[in-house]
Chain A
Amino acid sequence: MAGKEQGFYQVFEVFSRKAPDAPMQHQFSLLAPNEEIALVMAQENFMRREPVSDLWVVRRDYIRRINEEEKAALKRLDNKDYRLTRGYGDVKKRWRKYEQEAFDEKEILSWKGEIQR
Chain B
Amino acid sequence: MAAMMTFTRLSDEEKYERFMQRIEAGEKIEADDWMPDEYRTALIKLIAMHAVSEIMGALPEKEWVPKAPSLRRKLGIMAKVQDEMGHGQLLLRVAEDLMAPLGKTREDILEDLLNERLKFHNVFHMAAPTWADAGLIGWLVDGAAIMTQTNMLDASYGPYARALKRICAEEVFHAQHGESIILALAEGTKEQKEMLQEALNRWWEALLMFFGPPTADTTGTSKQDITIKYRIRTKTNEQLRQDFFTKYVPRIWALGLKIPDETMHFDKEKGQWIYRQPDWERFKEIIRNNGPKSQERLELRRTAYKQNAWVREALGAVRTAG
Contacts and interface: CB of A to CB of B under 8 A. Distances in A.
Interface of A: 1-2, 4-6, 8-9, 11, 28-31, 33-34, 37, 41, 44-46, 48-49, 65, 67-69, 72-73
Contacts, number: 72
Nearest to B111: A2
Query: Which of B82, B318, B319, B320 lies at the interface centre, i.e. has the most chain A CB atoms within 10 A of its CB?
Result: B319
B40 to A, nearest CB: 15
B32 interface: yes
Nearest to B82: A48
A29 B83 contact: no
B32 A68 contact: yes
A8 B105 contact: no
B66 to A, nearest CB: 21
| Interface SS, B side | helix
A4 B319 contact: no
B4 A73 contact: yes
B318 A29 contact: no
B163 A28 contact: yes
- Shortest 3 CB-CB contacts between residues of A and residues of B: A8-B316, A33-B315, A72-B4
A91 B128 CA distance: 69
A67 B86 CA distance: 29
Interface in B91-113: 92-93, 96-97, 105-107, 111
A67 B320 CA distance: 32
Given A34-B322, A67-B32, A48 B83 contact: yes
B149 to A, nearest CB: 16
B34 interface: yes
A106 B96 CA distance: 45
Interface residues of B, number: 36
| Interface SS, A side | mixed
Given A31-B106, A34-B322, A69-B5, 18 more contacts: A1-B309, A2-B107, A2-B111, A4-B316, A6-B105, A11-B97, A28-B90, A28-B93, A30-B89, A34-B318, A34-B319, A41-B89, A65-B32, A67-B32, A68-B7, A68-B30, A69-B8, A73-B1
A26 to B, nearest CB: 9
A72 B2 CA distance: 11
Interface string B297-322: 00000000000010011011011101
B90 A45 contact: yes
B251 interface: no
B315 A37 contact: yes
